[in-house]
A = this chain, B = another copy of it.
């Protein structure tokens, strides 16, 4: 199911102020087949976010122009569901807690092992593929509808899709997990355009 080679490749935004490391990691990830954009600071990164369609953000916690947490907060306002992965060399427990509370999906310690990073990214891509997909569409469509309602719907879609995926397409399990009425789930799936895909 995780096919890095398909047209489904995730767009990664890699943010690090150390140009050497940044370049090296980007190269590695690209070789692995990922679509990587780079930014050397929060400001640049935020700009990339507006210009491109990004699926996952990977960012240093410490940056010269802004705190990583602060950056994540801003990024999240632009794309509420985007998975953010932090890394840092001098992380305090507080930092990690703050990052995770903000919804970081993972936190790596520097120096980052590229293999490890790749593995985590693939996992994230897998886990969040619902969110990633919806993000892409939610922000493509008429931007005057990118409002409260569409975000909530997007989130509902993400919840259902990820639960479906988690339970391998078995509706019965999803019903129990989400504690939702079958009829309601059916309705929502229809409305949100969710199709059940059983086999992986």
Contacts and interface: CB of A to CB of B under 8 A. Distances in A.
Interface of A: 76-77, 80, 91, 93-94, 96-97, 100-101, 106-107, 109, 143-149, 151-152, 155-156, 159-160, 162, 166, 177-181, 184
Count of identical protomers in the assembly: 2
Contact of A148 (B100, B145, B151, B159): B159
B93 A107 contact: yes
A59 to B, nearest CB: 15
17 contacts: A76-B162, A77-B166, A91-B93, A93-B93, A93-B96, A97-B100, A97-B106, A100-B101, A144-B179, A145-B181, A146-B179, A147-B178, A148-B160, A148-B178, A148-B180, A152-B156, A152-B159
Given A77-B162, A147-B180, A151-B159, 14 more contacts: A94-B109, A96-B97, A96-B100, A96-B107, A97-B100, A97-B106, A97-B107, A101-B106, A144-B179, A145-B178, A145-B180, A146-B179, A147-B178, A149-B179
A183 to B, nearest CB: 11
Nearest to A96: B96
Contacts of A166: 77
Contacts of A80: 159
Contacts of A179: 143-149
Contacts of A162: 76-77
Nearest to A80: B159
Nearest to A181: B145
A101 B148 CA distance: 20
